[in-house]
Structure 1
Amino acid sequence: MLVALLAAAGVMGVTAAVSKRQDRVAVVDVAWGSSFVAIAIVLALVWPDGHSWLLALLVTIWGGRLAWHIARRSHGAGEDPRYEKMLGGPGWHAGAAKVVVRVFLTQAVVAFIISAPLQAAAIADVQWWPVVWLGVLVWAVGLFFEVVGDRQLAAYKAKPRESRPKILDTGLWGWTRHPNYFGDACVWWGLWIAGAVSLGWVPGLVTVFAPIAMTFFIRNVTGAKLLEQTMSQREGWSEYADRVPLFFPRPPRR
């Protein structure tokens, strides 16, 4: 547990220094996925076996892609209004102690908590290898929704505003209003299955709070519902929301 916490704290500490230099708190979003990569790799280095390295590979693919995607998307952008609202002011001007505690320390602790299945896998032996591969399958479904959803959104935004539909409602965006967030949740349910459930029922039950917490936050707190506060102001959004579910996908319907 201490190893995982130190890994997350190290990534967030470096990110805080970069953030202070750039005077932009939102760079922490790039470090979110990277913190899990650091945790998984450090655990695999300290307790090396095939299972830990498999999980490290899965986390690195997911977290590395997410960090790269956010860094590219936010390049040249200003401060994220979410952090200004959270801190009660523009970035570091709200006070260094407040920024460190509310943003960087909080995210390090949350990453440490969410990584519980990885921690369990580092110190226990696999009991059911077929369950590991079931978890990999769920992880792959989640990664598919994230990658394809992000690409479809990027292609939509690349079209001239006057010639594109008011709302993106094709592809995966016709199945769920937030395919990338749903994919994120699937990734962590897959890592829980592959990492903790494969060790036995007790490790699975003890760590099930991790994917539940991740799903709750990205659906109800920091992800889907927060984004919809602004998206719902778009023309045609009500009709789109009537047809397409918020989070869990279903086949498109008229």
Structure 2
Amino acid sequence: MNAFQVCLWVFGAVCAGCWLLSVLTREYSWVDRIWSLVPVAYAGIFAGHAGFADPRLNVLFVLVALWGARLTFNFGRKGGYARGGEDYRWAILRGRMAPWWFQVFNLFFITLFQNGILLLIAVPAWTALEHRTPFGVADVLLALAFLACLAGETVADQQQWDFHRWKAAEQAAGRVPDPRFRQTGLFRFSRHPNFFFEQAQWWLVAGFGVAAAGALTWTVAGALLLTALFVGSTIFTESITRGRYPEYARYQRRTSPVVPWFPRRVPSTVD
């Protein structure tokens, strides 16, 4: 059995487990809970099939493991692994969909599609396994860029974490937080800097596959689908945020959606 076939078996088992747990518990964040773990396993499978003797695959495995460790920590401290730690957006969607239709959505989108993305973002390592070319300058640059993006996402998540702790403290003291959402730090230049760095890391992983093959391959599909997922998720999330905080509309006009950029001037008379 080759490495990709092993990954397919893991994919099938994870899909079955996530779907079954969602049906039994009526919580639909099981894919979220394994999001930071499964790509690490896939990367390890590909590196392991090379006997952990290929520099490019080993670097990929270490980078993905660092990504997974950071994301697991951040997800855990927000209560994502606790009972009732379901993503609030699933509850909103359930309220907008017929029960039977949400179960179809749960099977095909939440379980199969999202797990498919988790497999596909890791398959550039399969390209690297199939094309055991020398580790070169391009690989070094990709690794350094990945680490820079990992650091950027860490900073963005920490800034968001600090803000929400401050916000909770203000509310506990009976005060109305002002502002009601983060607008400083990296969030001055992007409404979702963590989304930017997250996607960038997986495009860089795809770059390792391109570096190995010496050409663009189909294994960039994972990064492409991940970006499409983030586009839809960002639009949906911002529609919720704008409904909660009318002042968010002004922030939207002033600040780049995802890619960090200098804020735009917005006249104070504009609502």
TM (norm. structure 2) is 0.80
After superposition, the C-alpha distances for 1:58-103 in whole angstroms (9 at most, x for unaligned) are 111112322332233233445445435369467x9965x8744443
**RMSD of aligned residue pairs (Cα, Å):** 2.7
Alignment partner, residue 117 of structure 1: 124
Alignment partner, residue 196 of structure 1: 209
Structure-to-structure mapping, 1:120-139, within 5 angstroms: 120-127=127-134, 129-139=136-146
Report the Cα distance in structure 1 between the residues aligned to 2:183 and 2:127, rounded to whole angstroms: 40
Alignment partner, residue 10 of structure 1: 13
Alignment partner, residue 269 of structure 2: none
Larger fraction in helix: 1
The 10-residue stretch of structure 1 (240-249 or 112-121) with the greater mean CA deviation from structure 2: 112-121
- Tell me, yes or no, if the aligned pair for 1:141 and 1:186 is still in contact at 8 Å: no
Equivalent of residue 31 in structure 2, options 21, 28, 40: 28
Count of matched residue positions in the alignment of Structure 1 and Structure 2:
248
Report the Cα distance in structure 2 between the residues aligned to 1:12 and 1:66, rounded to whole angstroms: 20
Greater radius of gyration (CA): 2
Unaligned runs of 5+ in 1: none
Deviation at 1:188, TM superposition (A): 0.7
Deviation at 1:185, TM superposition (A): 0.8
Report the Cα distance in structure 2 between the residues aligned to 1:144 and 1:78, rounded to whole angstroms: 26
2:231 equivalent to 1:230 = no
- Tell me, yes or no, if the aligned pair for 2:256 and 2:263 is still in contact at 8 Å: no
Report the Cα distance in structure 2 between the residues aligned to 1:216 and 1:130, rounded to whole angstroms: 30
Alignment partner, residue 246 of structure 1: 257
Change over 3 Å in CA distance of 1:77–1:149 after alignment to 2: farther
Change over 3 Å in CA distance of 1:132–1:217 after alignment to 2: same
- Tell me, yes or no, if the aligned pair for 2:117 and 2:226 is still in contact at 8 Å: no
Change over 3 Å in CA distance of 1:253–1:121 after alignment to 2: same
Unaligned runs of 5+ in 2: 266-271
Structure-to-structure mapping, 1:148-187, within 5 angstroms: 148-159=155-166, 160-161=170-171, 162-187=176-201
